[in-house]
Every structure is written in C-alpha cells, then in structure tokens.
Chain A
Amino acid sequence: MEDRLVKWFLWTVFFLFFLLAVGLFSLAVGSTGLSLREVFLSFSRKGSVAHSIVFQLRLPRILLGFAVGGGLSLAGVILQGLFRNPLVEPYTLGISGGAALGVSLGMLLGLPRSMGLVALPLLGFLGAVVVIGLVYVLSTRKGVMRIQGLLLTGVMVSFISSSLIMLIMAVSRLEDLHSIVFWIMGFLGETDWWMVTLMGGVSLVALVLSYFFALDLNALALGEEEARHLGVEVEKSKRLLFLLASVVTGLCVSAAGIIGFVGLVVPHFVRMVVGRDHRILLVASFLCGAAFLVLCDTVARVAVAPMELPVGVITGIVGGVLFIYALTRNEAGVRM
C-alpha cells in the first residue's frame, strides 16, 4: 500500500515537473527568443520588453493552455471511465458541436462587432449548455440515464450541429467565414487575464470535484450493476460526472475553440503509464494534458513563425501519430 502511494506521489511530481518544464520552455521560445535567464529576470523588471512579452503575450496564453488542456483531459478520463469506451472523448457528446454552432450563429449575426470580444465565449457556452441539456433530457428515461443512449444521442447532435454550421458557413460573408473556421480549429492566443483566471479556477475546481468520484469510477469499470453491488449510487454518480465533464468541456471550448484529441489521447497515454486506478489517473491526466496542449501550442506558434498554425492542427497530428505508435507497440494498454 505504502509503495503504491509513493509511486503515485512520484508520478504526480514527475508530471508536475514536466508541466513546469514545458511552461518555461514555452515562455522562452517564440518570435523573440528569450533565454531562461531573461525569462526569470523579466519577472522583476516591470516595463522591460521581456516583461511585456512574458506577461502580456506568453504567460496568459500558457496558463490558458494549461487550464484547457487539463480540463479536456480530465473530462476525457471521466467520460471514458463512465462509458467504459476507449473512443469516447469530450467532444463525442456533441458539446463542442453546440458551442461551435453558438459561435457561428453569433458571427453570422455580427454579434462580436456589437458586443465585443466576450460575445464569442459567451455564445459558445450558451450553445454548449443547450446541447448538454438536450442530450441529458433525451437520454434519461424514468430517472435512469442510459449511457449507450447518451453516446448515440451525443454523436447525432454532433452531426446535426456540424451540418448547421456548414449551412451558416455557406451563407456567411467571407470575413466571418474566416473567423468561424479559425475558431473551430482552436486558438489559445486571443485571451485576457480575466478568461485565464476563470478557466484556471474552473479546471482546478473540476479536478478537485472529480476526486470525490475516483472510487466510483474505479467501481464503474466493472459495469453499472457490479458497481451498484459495491454500494455505488450509480445513477447519481453518472449524472454528476456527466454534468461535471460537460460543463468543463463547454467552458474549454468556449474559451479556446475546438481543440481536438487532447481529451482522447492523453488519458490513454497516462493510463498506459500509471495504470487504471482513477485516484492517480485523474490528476496525472490533468497535468499531462495541460503540458501536452501547451507543448502543441508552442509548436503552433514557432513552427512557421511569424505565421501561426491553429493549435488543433498540431494536437491532431502529434496526438494521432503518437497514438498509432503506442497502439502498435502496446496493444493491451489502450484497452479499457
């Protein structure tokens, strides 16, 4: 028992260091390269160029990346555990589709011009909330939430919303079209401290809350009926976990657009490394997802500088390639 605790602690420390290293690396590189020394010095030198690069450009973006990456991975672990299905990710439930639909609709109506920057995240979140409610109601019958039904409903809602988005794109003006496409591909750069604080808070709170369900998730790996035999209040846990994962996903998508693959790939990797116990899996995935997204975002910033690539492109390519590699090497690890 003790050695398991030690092992878990060491893994947590390892992922924390990884996260920190990625963060520092990301602070240093970019169109203006800074040495680590300059980065550290900039903390105390207000008004210097380095200070404004670090504090106004890079740090908010990195912190947002941490929050979104961690949040999406966490949602991925929760949902994969809940559905006992390794292909489920935060976007399978149609939440991202709803958010994207909200944003596209807002752009079509020209709301960002009248309401300012806050309009898009707000609309995204509204869209996500509508979809969460819809999926929830459609898949609950007589107080029982049918997990497989939930999955199918989610996938169908995704299809419907992506069709509607295409419709909106077809009728929107060129400059709106460009913004919609860009938003859909995911972008961490357009942020401010308010958004960073909100998302950081939400992600951390979600991580803490998820730990109240770590044992339930472990038991649910045996199936709902078996979990019930172990005294887990399955309906309550399913409902709360679904809501937790959905709200986090909705907020992440609203803040950063649709950044794919983080919530799918990272939990798998972490499961291969630390095992299947949710008591370590939750925090390890959170940290690893945070680091992974920031790393991808850094690549997106510097790969074809001064141009920027959408971060969703990088997470997709890097995540997909790594995943296939791991799949062929370690067949047992990706199973649930």
Chain B
Amino acid sequence: MLRVRGLVCGYRDGFQLRDVDLAVAPGEFLGIIGPNGSGKTTLVRALARSLRPLAGEVLLEGRDIWSIPPREFARQVAVVSQGGHGGPMKVEEYVLLGRIPHYGPFQFLESSRDMEVARKAMELTGIAHLKGRTLEEMSGGERQLVMLARALAQEPRLLILDEPTTHLDIAHQVAVLDLVQRLREELGIALVVVLHDLNLASEYGQRLMLMKGGRVKVQGSPHEVIRRELLREVYGVEVVVEKHPLSGRPYVVVVSGKTEVGSWRR
C-alpha cells in the first residue's frame, strides 16, 4: 500500500534523511523507533506529504503521493502529529474537521453520515462523553485521544501516528495501541507509528524500523530489531533484552550507571 524508495529528504544544509526504503502492506503495523534526532518525525512528514523529497519517491498504491490531489490524499492517509492545537475549540467540532476531505464540491454542512462517522470515531476512542468540552480544558492524554478520533473520522486506509502515547499513562497507552490494533485487524488499516517506548513497539509492531542519524539502521521483526548489541550501538545505553512471558516478544530493561551519552569520562 505504501512504498518508499531511496528517499532522501530534509532541510537544505540541515538535517537530512538518507536512503530510506520501506513498504507497508494493508493491515500492517510498522513501528518506527530510534533516538531523538534520528529522523523519525522527518520521515513522518515525508510520508504525510508535508515535506517534498529531494530524491527518491513515496508511493501510495503505486502513485507518487505528490501527484495525488491533496483532498484525495487526506481521504486515504490520516496523520496525528505531535503537538497540534485547537485552542478553545469543542471536541466534537474538532473531530468533525476530520470530515473536511470528504466534503462534496458544494457541500456546506456535515451530512448525517459525517456526523455518524464522527460519533463512531469518538466512541471508539472513548471520548464520546467529552464532546461538549473544549480542547484546552482537557489533559494531554485526552487531547491525544481527540486527535486520534479526528484522524479516524477521515476514514483513512493508512494511519500515521507520531508518538501517539507520549502523554499517556500506561493504561491509556495500552488502550490506544489496542484500539489501533483492532482498527488494523478489523478494518485493514495500515499503520505507521513512531514510538519512543521500545517495549510498546516490540509488543505491538509487526515490523520495526530502527533509525539512526537519518538512516535506517535495521528493519525487521521485533526479534530482529530489539537486540542488545543493536540498541547499545544506536542508543549508546546498556540494556538487557528479555523475552515477554506471555507474548514471547522481546522486551528491554535499562541498566543504570552505564550510560555513554554525554558521559564525562569519555
């Protein structure tokens, strides 16, 4: 569904993403991990049609994303980026903005179907009871769910999430990723999710992509990516990798006092 070939992308004279190749099939969960400044968000921007590639291409169903009209693209791909603000906007209004790409040429108001889709998106994300509240009176976690609901209201086939669990407690983290998992299984939505938490990435991702310095360090199953030597090399931190007792996936425990990042002794 999504295919990236030889992507070079970034800001002139500044940070650049180099030689990125990836493919995501419908209903697949690709987790992107990597240290701060490794190019995860730049990659998201390139996939979301916010940043033009300097070389290479990003294809959606075989079409260069820059040749797809913006509204059509927004009906296929929804993005939840970091931050984002809506000020004193009401939750329901905000979620309904997700219907904008679906408006007909002379449609002025939301149709009953638009309302229905928005309602469903709010129910799925568990924020239906908040719909009359404004965004600025909500907690960071609730706001994240609202943004996810807006993305779902777009009825995308590919959902790109940039750190969707950052401001959430573990219950909400699991709730969001379980929900995302269900969307993937039931609706066949493809997912590209940037995650900071390696354990969540390992637990939910079917495939992981580890980035470093604007390049893809390694790509593969969690077993292939969450490995002690690799993580030590990329993050510069000592870790222990164990096997999750239930899912059998690898999980990571940090080892204190062995950090190499910003070490004085070096």
Using a CB–CB cutoff of 8 Å, the interface residues on chain A facing chain B are 1, 4-5, 211, 214-215, 218-219, 221-223, 225-226, 228-233, 276-277, 279, 332, 335-336
Contact = CB atoms under 8 A, between A and B. Distances in A.
B84 A231 contact: no
Interface stretch (B21-29, B107-115, B201-209, B222-230): B107-115
A302 B208 CA distance: 75
25 contacts: A1-B115, A214-B108, A215-B100, A218-B97, A219-B100, A221-B86, A221-B87, A222-B86, A222-B97, A223-B85, A225-B50, A225-B81, A228-B49, A228-B50, A229-B48, A229-B79, A230-B98, A230-B101, A231-B73, A232-B70, A232-B100, A233-B70, A276-B89, A332-B88, A332-B134
B166 to A, nearest CB: 17
Contacts of B72: 231
Nearest to B112: A1
A231 B71 contact: yes
Nearest to B75: A231
B93 interface: yes
A166 to B, nearest CB: 38
Given A1-B115, A225-B50, A230 B154 contact: yes
Interface size class of B (residues with CB under 8 A): 20 to 34
A223 B71 CA distance: 17
Nearest to A334: B88
Contact of B84 (A226, A232, A276): A226
B74 interface: yes
Contacts of A215: 100, 103
Contacts, number: 65
Contacts of A332: 88, 134
Given A1-B112, A279-B108, A335-B87, A231 B101 contact: yes
Contacts of B154: 230
B112 to A, nearest CB: 7
B89 A221 contact: yes
Interface of B: 48-50, 70-75, 78-79, 81, 84-89, 93-94, 97-98, 100-101, 103, 108-110, 112, 115, 134, 154
A231 B81 contact: no
Q: Top 7 A-B pairs ranked by shortest CB distance?
A: A231-B74, A231-B71, A231-B101, A229-B79, A231-B70, A230-B100, A1-B115
Given A230-B100, A276-B93, 19 more contacts: A1-B115, A4-B109, A221-B86, A221-B87, A222-B94, A222-B97, A228-B49, A228-B70, A229-B79, A231-B72, A231-B73, A231-B74, A231-B75, A232-B70, A276-B88, A279-B108, A332-B88, A332-B134, A335-B87
